[in-house]
Amino acid sequence: MTTEIENIKEILGDNLVSLAEYQTGNDATHLAVCRDLDFETLQKLKHLGEIPLLLTKEELVDGADVFPIEFLNIKQHHTILYGEDFMKDIHISKEHLRHQLEFEIRSKLIHLRGEYLQYKNKDIESLILAAVPTLTPLLGALLYLKNLQESPDMFSAVSDGYSVDTHILKDIYDIRRGNAEFREDRDQYIRSIIKVLSDIGEIVDEHEVNE
């Protein structure tokens, strides 16, 4: 167990009821569940090199309806390092998940359009890369919404499940990770991202939830 994890346990002491590690894309993040989180506790934690996601037990149990995408990702990809596993019993409502998915996808679409109109003062390649920052939770949520199995190739799984071509998102994901380079006109990337976000947004909006 790393020094940072030991530091979290030492600082929180009996206030810590659960400590977990979960994946967001290729990055590992930690979740610390506490009995309570007062300002003094935050002051003690602010000097840590790695700041975990901090929730009270009540926030974790009651927050799934507010952050279903985030909680689904933690539920599906976490490992308990200390204490109780509260995530295994948390129910993710597909209706709440559908609402947040539509919000996130349409928000990205609106933001991208607005940023593109102003890109003359910015680096358009940075705009393209920023349009696909952390996709894994969204892709996982899209698969869960339709009772589809997760796959090592999440992009293809979403393409097949939603009949939408997501290759542009995979291309940008690979560019961000340093595994590929830009191959097309930069405006074409923006055009393709707008189309896929628009298509998925409409499908999610019309999807009838079956819990």
pLDDT at 23: 80
pLDDT category at 150 given cuts 50, 70, 90 is confident
Whether residue 101 sits in one domain with residue 72: no
Please state whether the predicted TM-score (pTM) of the whole model is above 0.85: no
Neighbours of 42 (CB within 10 A): 11
For residues 155 and 174, state if they share a domain: yes
Q: pLDDT class for 131, splitting at 50, 70, 90? A: confident
- Using N-to-C axis directions, what is the helix angle for 68-76 and 94-117, rounded to 10°? 110
Instruction: Tell me, yes or no, whether 146 lies in a domain.
Output: yes
pLDDT at 166: 92
Residue 1 — pLDDT band, cuts 50, 70, 90?
low
Claim to verify: residue 103 and residue 201 sit in the same structural domain? yes
Domain presence at residue 211: no
Q: Say if residue 144 is in the same domain as residue 201.
A: yes
Q: Mean pLDDT score of the chain, rounded to an integer?
A: 89
Domain shared by 83 and 122, yes or no: no
Residues 32 and 53 in one domain: yes
Which residues on adjacent β-strands are paired with residue 32? 19, 54
Residue-level pLDDT at 26: 64
Number of domains in the chain: 2
**Residue 25 pLDDT > 80, yes or no?**
no
Contact (CB, 8 A) for 79 and 21: yes
Q: Rounded CA gap, 196 and 198, in Å? A: 5
Determine contact, residues 26/133, Cβ cutoff 8 Å: no
pLDDT digits (tens, 9 = 90+) for 67-115: 999 999 999 889 999 998 988 889 999 999 999 999 999 999 999 999 8
Domain, as residue range, for 26: 3-89
Domain boundary among 89, 120, 138: 89
Specify whether 83 is located in the same domain as 99.
no
HEC profile of 41-100: HHHHHCCCCCCCEEEEHHHHHHCCCCCHHHHHHHHHCEEEEEECCCHHHCCCCHHHHHHH
Task: Quick: pLDDT tens for 169-206.
Answer: 999 989 988 889 998 888 999 999 999 999 999 999 99
Which of 98, 68, 88, 69 lies closest to 20, judged by CA? 88
Do 104 and 200 reside in the same domain of the chain?
yes
